[in-house]
Amino acid sequence: MSISAENWGEVPLAPPDSIFKLTAAYKADPFPEKINLGVGAYRDDNSNPWVLPVVKTATQILLNDPNIDHEYLPITGLPQFTAAAAKLILGADSPAIAENRVVSVQTISGTGANHLGALFLSRYYHFGEEGKKVYLSDPTWVNHFAIFRNVQIEPVTYPYYDAATIGLAFEPFLETLRTAAPRSVFLLHACAHNPTGVDPTREQWGKICDVILEKNHYAFFDCAYQGFASGDLVNDAWAVREFVKRGVPLLVCQSFAKNAGLYGERVGALHIIAPTKEGADRVKSQLSVLQRSEISNPPAHGARLVALILNDPALFEQWKDDIRTMAHRIIEMRKELHKLLTEELKTPGNWDHIVNQIGMFSFTGIKTEASLALTEKAHIYLTTNGRISMAGLNKNNVRYFAENLDKVVRGQL
Amino acid sequence: MQAIARPLARAAPRALSRAAALSTWSAVPAGPPDAILGVTEAFKRDQDPRKINLGVGAYRDGNGKPFVLPSVKKAEEIISQSGDKEYLPITGLPEFTRRAALLAYGAESAPLKGNAVAVTQSISGTGALRIGGAFLARFYPHSKTIYLPTPTWGNHTPIFRDSGLEVKGYRYYDKKTVGLDFEGLKADLQSMPEKSIVLLHACAHNPTGVDPTQAQWIEISNIIKEKSLFPFFDMAYQGFASGSTSKDAFAVRHFVSEGHQVALCQSFAKNMGLYGERVGAFSLTTADPEEKARVESQLKIVIRPMYSNPPLHGARIASTILGSPELYSEWEGEVKGMAERIISMRDRLYDNLVAQKTPGEWGHIKSQIGMFSFTGLTTPQTKALAEKAHIYMTADGRISMAGLNAHNIDYFSESVSRAVKGDI
């Protein structure tokens, strides 16, 4: 049939993405009370995806605008989008913006920003004698490892999550910052740590910043949940803005997948803060070269939606409302789950982390065997590290979840 | 959320950090401006009312305006009424990739019927090339060298180099005849190491507009078969070249029916006018469904650490059009319309240049195919046209025919005539 049948004969079958496997198993399960707590996307109270009302409004505006076409965006993206996105994370009054030291490039959502930022560091950052390394939190979003390896930066981990306290391993974290070679690159989750939901307090951030400055480390911020963590955009940007204020060399990866519910439209940005405007221009020129040989220019539609929302005061207010709707539903679920476990079921153990953790995810603290049991016996789908997506819980299923969590903790499932 | 007293600001570390920060990017050299996209930027800065932009390959209507295809507008209305924004799978919208593959390979294609075509949605043509380059660099067992026609689209070289392949050239364009150097091409194919990767522009060669005839494609296929070379097709203009999507797919379909295993990059930027929405697909023909599954699993590994999954909007538009008999037929008409306007501009330009007794042979203007024409103008001439006549094109003399229309074609041909005669 074909000439060179041996072209692809040796291509090995790669393992499927683990979250994909989980979702596929959930979909195939006929059990009526099944719950999907693996999903990293917001769900409304009826477990449905939720297109933000402000996004629907913005979509209509675009549809009815005769001046909108599908022309190529500039390589670095839609200027109305990137400028507004920079102000959103850094603050409209950021001196870095005023001094033209911020390079902003539109990217394919947060993954694209992480990739481009990592690629740029791989090409231009002066790594020390230890070579190209990046410190990732233990644990972190699983794709971080692949992203950095893909550009020949070796990922190593820093202590982050303390299983004993189901909280932050703060002293070990600081110690790693201190003992790492000077000028190391540390990836920091700006807010709503994925997968644990455990964030440093402001005081802790201050101390982290102290050590980073002492050691001349580089801060690689990943910000995928601004607004989604506490419900307040400004509050969630605090760590990034503090570090910028204190002069830490840094970049920020920004995603609008969750806070604008624009997941599949792939809206994101990479912001690199340079020490001077002249430096920023050079950095921008090289980011353009890197972007050009991978995607040429980024996708227009999602960026146009976000540009409208960020730049129109009425739409911006609506967006803040929509964000609060999502964040508050999640916070309500946390409270409800906590109440069920502590007041009604009196589940053994301390469950305060459920309400203390921040964002879409929660590290329940249960072990692998318990996670697997929940899936196999109760048709509750979660990752084996005990992480649940709070967005998958709602008024209809939270009791079922709480009762089964209680059973598995008691060894009765 | 947490009201904690902030530590006192520390002045010393800040000064230290500024020094450290100063050294972070001080060694980053200024990157060169993009040759093609830089033309548009120069055009934008020009205030002269007669200015013409013949740089970037985006279609313009008879009034020089961007053209949103009516079928695209209709599809957008349809998709705005329903649908969520959930993540697509890593390989994209399944209905889109299925229909894109059908459009390229044709319903009678054996590997397609045999469920042996591995296909993924991509960030337009650039993204497809990058995925393909990275996949071949990783998994093509026989060679890490890709041969590109001389000349080729400027972005091909950096894409393949950054993918990890070595880039070399084969003869393609003959300056003397302003046509195909067919003998040179065949000789170079013959002398390539066996099993090398060869990039082929499926139709409407960019930048020259010079395409092999169907008879020549058949010969090329035979040589490639003899040398077991790997054909890597870039098809950015299906439908746009001749006005017929099936005619423009001849080379790809012929190779596949001859039993070649191919790689194919598709773009919907031009033929659906979806440029900025970044709609494309990358596919590989494989031996059977089991091999297709293995290949697709590895395509996902290439894509996931770069951008996770592709954008929704443009793929939904394209899929809606390809999946609706009415819209599909409207779209075919619109593509034909665009191709025909370009062909009429070619005819008119040729007639004008001849009427103005412009020195040289200008038949290539009519025989070249697609959006671009290699005029044969020299770099100094193109520079003079920019500086004196406010006419912008790339330094290699490539013009986008789409930028010409009834309002500007006379000014353009007069200026070219003067430039060639040396008195611009």
Whichever domain contains B61, its CATH number is 3.90.1150.10
CB of B298 within 8 A of CB of B267? no
What is the average pLDDT across B345-351? 96
The answer on pLDDT for B9 being more than 70 is no
Residues B345 and B247 placed together within one structural domain of the fold:
no
Q: What pLDDT is attached to residue A5? A: 54
Residue B289 within a domain: yes
Residues B165 and B280 placed together within one structural domain of the fold:
yes
Residue B202 within a domain: yes
In this prediction, residue B20 has a pLDDT band, given cuts at 50, 70 and 90, of very low
**Distance from C-alpha of B157 to C-alpha of B163, rounded to nearest angstrom:** 10
Q: What pLDDT is attached to residue A6? A: 78
Neighbours of B78 (CB within 10 A): 16
B243 part of contact set with chain A, CB < 8 Å: no
Is B270 designated active site? yes
Q: What pLDDT is attached to residue B6? A: 37
pLDDT tens string A285-298 = 999 999 999 999 99
What is the average pLDDT across B342-362? 95
Residues B368 and B223 placed together within one structural domain of the fold:
no
Fold assignment, A17-51+328-409: Aspartate Aminotransferase, domain 1 (3.90.1150)
The length of chain A is: 413
Q: What pLDDT is attached to residue A278? A: 94
Q: What pLDDT is attached to residue B14? A: 41
pLDDT tens string A199-208 = 999 999 999 9
Q: Which of A11-20, A32-41, A378-387, B285-294 has the lowest mean pLDDT?
A: A11-20
Cα torsion through A217, A219, A220, A222, rounded to 10: 150
What is the average pLDDT across B334-341? 97
* % of chain B exceeding 70 in pLDDT: 95
In this prediction, residue A4 has a pLDDT band, given cuts at 50, 70 and 90, of low
Cα torsion through A105, A110, A114, A116, rounded to 10: -30
Query: Would you list the domain boundaries of chain A?
Result: 17-51+328-409, 79-311
Residue B318 within a domain: yes
Final residue belonging to a domain, choices B267, B288, B323: B323
Question: Is there a contact between B7 and A265 if contact means CB atoms under 8 Å apart?
Answer: no
B13 part of contact set with chain A, CB < 8 Å: yes
Q: Which residues of chain B lie closer than 8 angstroms to A51, CB-CB?
A: 84-85
Residues B220 and B262 placed together within one structural domain of the fold:
yes
Structure tokens at A99: 């001094």
The answer on pLDDT for B15 being more than 80 is no
Residues B280 and B404 placed together within one structural domain of the fold:
no
CB of A290 within 8 A of CB of A116? yes
Q: With helix as H, strand as E and coil as C, how does B315-369 read?
A: HHHHHHHHHCHHHHHHHHHHHHHHHHHHHHHHHHHHHHHHHCCCCCCCHHHHHCC
Burial of B365 (0-12, 13-18, 19+ CB in 10 A): buried
The answer on pLDDT for B130 being more than 60 is yes
Task: Count up the domains in chain B and report the number.
Answer: 2
The pairing of beta strand A267-273 with beta strand A250-255: antiparallel
Whichever domain contains B206, its CATH number is 3.40.640.10
What is the average pLDDT across B39-50? 90
Residue B306 within a domain: yes
In this prediction, residue B334 has a pLDDT band, given cuts at 50, 70 and 90, of very high
pTM: 0.94
**Distance from C-alpha of A266 to C-alpha of A239, rounded to nearest angstrom:** 24
DSSP class of residue A349?
Answer: S
* % of chain A exceeding 70 in pLDDT: 99
For residue A70, give the nearest of B31, B139, B273 by CB distance.
B273
Residues B156 and B257 placed together within one structural domain of the fold:
yes
User: Mean pLDDT for chain A?
Assistant: 95
Q: What pLDDT is attached to residue B287? A: 95
In this prediction, residue A3 has a pLDDT band, given cuts at 50, 70 and 90, of low
Residues B101 and B137 placed together within one structural domain of the fold:
yes
Residues B192 and B340 placed together within one structural domain of the fold:
no
The answer on pLDDT for B3 being more than 60 is no
CB contacts under 8 A, A 321-340 vs B, are none
The answer on pLDDT for A267 being more than 60 is yes
CATH architecture, domain defined by A79-311: 3-Layer(aba) Sandwich (3.40)
Is A222 designated active site? yes
What sign has the CA pseudo-torsion B60, B63, B66, B68? Answer: negative
Is A258 designated active site? yes
CB contacts under 8 A, A 31-90 vs B, are 41, 49, 51, 55, 59-60, 63, 69-75
Residue B29 within a domain: no
Structure tokens at A280: 């920023």
Could you give the maximum distance between any two Cα atoms of chain B, in Å?
A: 83
Final residue belonging to a domain, choices B323, B353, B386: B323
Q: Give the domain range for residue B51.
A: 34-68+333-419
pLDDT tens string B140-181 = 999 999 999 999 999 999 999 999 999 999 999 998 888 999
Residue B28 within a domain: no
Nearest-Cα residue of chain A relative to residue B225: A3
What is the average pLDDT across A323-334? 95
Residue B198 within a domain: yes
**Distance from C-alpha of A403 to C-alpha of A398, rounded to nearest angstrom:** 9
pLDDT tens string B354-399 = 999 999 989 999 999 999 999 889 999 999 999 999 999 999 899 9
The answer on pLDDT for A332 being more than 50 is yes
Question: Is there a contact between A261 and B111 if contact means CB atoms under 8 Å apart?
Answer: no
pLDDT tens string A112-161 = 999 999 999 999 999 988 899 999 999 999 999 999 999 999 999 999 99
A115 part of contact set with chain B, CB < 8 Å: yes
pLDDT tens string A151-188 = 999 999 999 999 999 999 999 999 999 999 999 999 99
Residues B168 and B267 placed together within one structural domain of the fold:
yes
For residue B293, give the nearest of A13, A49, A109 by CB distance.
A13
A346-369: buried (b, 16+ CB within 10 Å) or exposed (e) per residue? Answer: ebeeebebbeebbbbbbbbbbeee
Shortest CA distance to A336 belongs to which of A362, A299, A305?
A362
Angle, vertex CA B219, rays to CA B230 and CA B400, nearest 5: 80
Residues B126 and B242 placed together within one structural domain of the fold:
yes
Residue B27 within a domain: no
ipTM of the complex: 0.95
pLDDT tens string B75-94 = 999 999 888 999 999 999 99
Q: Which of A153-157, B11-15, B207-211 has the lowest mean pLDDT?
A: B11-15
Could you give the maximum distance between any two Cα atoms of chain A, in Å?
A: 70
**Distance from C-alpha of A359 to C-alpha of A339, rounded to nearest angstrom:** 18
Given the structure tokens 């982390």, which residue do they identify?
Answer: A353
pLDDT tens string A184-234 = 999 999 999 999 999 999 999 999 999 999 999 999 999 999 998 899 999
